[in-house]
Amino acid sequence: MTSAALPDARRDAATATVGMTIFLGATTMLFAALFFAYAVMRAQAPAWPPAGQAPLPRGALGVNTLVLLAASLALRAARAAARRDALASARRRAWGALALGVGFLAAQVIVWRALVGAGVGPSSGIYGSVFFAISGLHALHVVGGLMALALVATFWTRGASAARRLGLCALYWDFVLVVWLLFYVGACLR
């Protein structure tokens, strides 16, 4: 019922997880609303992609998806290491995850530039509007996650709190991954 009886560290970890879960619930609603907007736009368009618009580069976006997935796996590995108190290897893996995350962003920027080059930009029509708005906002959430991860990886001290914080990062990262997967499968592939 109430949690006063638990030891402090575990209590804090549980509290932080509750907070993170609620936060992710809120963020889910944000992306749900965006996907709803996407669905409305697509349902109302006479053709998708509209005539004369270059389709999205599925292959390149697929590669980016894999990079994001790899980052997520690296983060899980880091958390596992932190739980074993293997701090050095946890740190290595966390920085690895960070690098992969930055790689994802860089790869997204490349895709964006290529699309704009092919005449699909945010202002080129509704097709570009939805892709750039949702992938852009997703990228912002990735940036947020990377900043948090960088803070954690730089400032952690004890194994227990490192594992806890990496756990929160991993939870968030999984969320960002799922959002991207949904978008990729629902919007880019179909």
What are phi and psi for residue 134, nearest 5 degrees?
A: -75, -45
d(CA 146, CA 169): 9
Q: Return the residue of 63, 86, 99, 148 that touches another protein, per CB under 8 A.
A: 148
Minimum CB distance to another protein smaller for 33 or for 66: 33
Q: Return the residue of 54, 80, 92, 129 that touches another protein, per CB under 8 A.
A: 129
Of 102-121, binders to another protein (CB under 8 A) are none
Minimum CB distance to another protein smaller for 50 or for 103: 50
What are phi and psi for residue 122, nearest 5 degrees?
A: -60, -30
Regarding 183 and contact with another protein (CB under 8 A), the answer is no
Note if the bond before 49 is cis, omega within 30 degrees: yes
**Near another protein by CB under 8 A, which window of 36-44, 80-88, 108-116, 180-188?**
36-44
CA torsion angle 11 15 17 18 (round to 10):
140
d(CA 93, CA 79): 9
Minimum CB distance to another protein smaller for 20 or for 80: 20
Regarding 54 and contact with another protein (CB under 8 A), the answer is no
- Can you read off the two tokens belonging to residue 117? 């080059």
Q: In this structure, are residues 12 and 163 in contact, taking their beta carbons and an 8 Å threshold? A: no
Please give the single-letter amino acid code of residue 100: L
Regarding 157 and contact with another protein (CB under 8 A), the answer is no
Q: Which residues bind another protein (CB under 8 A)?
A: 1-5, 8, 11-16, 18-20, 22-23, 25-34, 36-37, 40-41, 44-47, 50, 122-123, 125-130, 132-133, 137, 148, 151-152, 165, 168
